[in-house]
Amino acid sequence: MFIKKSISSEEKLSILSNDSKYDLACACAPEKSEHRRRSKEDKWIYPVVLPSGGKTFLFKTLLSNGCINNCKYCPLRVNADTKRCALTPEELVKLFLSYYKNRKVSGLFLSSAVTDNPDGTMERINRAALMLRRDNFRGYIHLKIIPGASDAAIRKAVSLASAVSLNIETAGEDNFKALSTTKNYLRDIINPTRLISRLTKKGSFFHNVKHTTQFVVGASRETDREIVKYSGTLYGELNLDRIYFSSYQRGAGSSDVYGEHSGCTNSELLIREHRLYQADWLLRKYGFSAEEIPFSGNGNLSLEVDPKEMWARGHPEFFPVNINCAGKLELLRVPGIGLVVADRILKFRENNAKIRELRDLGRLNKTLKKAIPYIVF
């Protein structure tokens, strides 16, 4: 047997950047051009859309994958059989700057498993960010807030970051207890989320810092209805900028986690994740409220039909919509009409032109054809 007593920083990075793939709180997008990709060095590179509308590529990794928590859905939980290692903040900064100076990345997403205690882990995350800022790096830094971190540690992270995220993981305390016995839902998740919301709200000193979170879908017994309800509250009352959804993949967690014997296949869970993103889009961009999102009898979104089309089927009184005089929010209620087509319609009308058929708006593709039963000219 050959025992390797130490591994290089690059070898650690290879392990830790791969393990960071389980956290999506910066890396999902509706366009393929915005999805993560592997670099030539086999690292995950994550694109993000900036508030200005530009894009940056993120260097994404954990500082450590050695964890004291027992979150049942997590492949890095305390009793999981996985290769453990850690980077020091100094190693991380050196590695990042080498990628940055070679123009391979232009931003950083930094997270970590909880190696000793929340504040000890946050201190190392914050120290790495502080070293970069003192080195005159003014680019994009997304810092993960560790559940249970002190208010002081959270404030420090917010002061250093372009964006921060604390994963809520599931909807409600009962569902959360089924996933972890080492974290407290109110103390470690909800209260810190409220603090970040206060620190980054409009008009505050840190109002430019983005605030996101993530749900793990299907690990516990939560329904899509519960997730969407929580999402509505997070957007409406706590002003989060973005919510991400990561479907639980069977085999990743412990044998007693609900997701292992729920009866859902990985394929079905991925479709469920996709439907939640569609519902989230309705909340953030299309003017829907959480109460308007339609669910099946089991409390979940339909796997066969997208939520906007399900809403349209259930509200015949709203249709048909006159495409030549409806407002933007009315147009966005029509299946097949998204933000781009709605803006195209409004621009068409600004030029005092009457739309006589859908082909006037461009190529009649499969998506746009969905609008035919719901509109008049």
Same domain for 54 and 180: yes
> Is 335 a domain residue?
yes
* pLDDT score, position 265: 86
Residue 377 confidence (pLDDT) = 93
pLDDT for 54 equals 53
pLDDT value at residue 254? 87
**pLDDT value of position 252:** 81
Task: Specify which of 16-20, 152-156, 244-248, 360-364 reaches the highest per-range mean pLDDT.
Answer: 152-156
Write out pLDDT tens, residues 60-115. Answer: 899 999 999 988 888 889 888 888 999 999 999 999 999 899 888 889 999 999 99
What sign does the dihedral 359-361-363-365 (CA atoms) show?
negative
What's the mean per-residue pLDDT of the chain? 89
Residues 248 and 356 reside in one and the same domain = no
Asked whether residue 274 is assigned to any structural domain, the reply reads yes
Residue 85 inside a domain? The answer is: yes
pLDDT tens by residue, 256-269 = 888 888 888 888 99
**Is the domain of 81 the same as that of 139?**
yes
Rounded Cα distance, 233 and 286, in Å: 17
**Residue 39 in domain:** yes
Judgement on whether residues 176 and 324 belong to the same structural domain of the protein: no
Same domain assignment for residues 283 and 334? no
Query: Is 34 a residue whose pLDDT tops 50?
Result: no
Is residue 304, in this structure, part of any structural domain at all?
no
Residue 310 within a domain: no
Is 298 contained in some domain? no
Domain shared by 170 and 214, yes or no: yes
6 confidence band (pLDDT: 50, 70, 90)? confident
Quote the domain boundaries for residue 128.
9-289
Helix, strand or coil, per DSSP, at residue 357: coil
User: Are 270 and 144 found together in one domain?
Assistant: yes
Is 69:78 a contact under the CB 8 Å cutoff?
Answer: yes
Q: Enumerate the β-bridge partners of residue 244.
A: 214
pLDDT in the model for residue 50: 47
User: Left if phi > 0, otherwise alpha if psi is -120 to 50, otherwise beta: which for 51?
Assistant: alpha
Question: What percentage of residues in the chain have a pLDDT greater than 90?
Answer: 67
Structural domains in the chain (count): 2
Are 283 and 206 found together in one domain?
yes
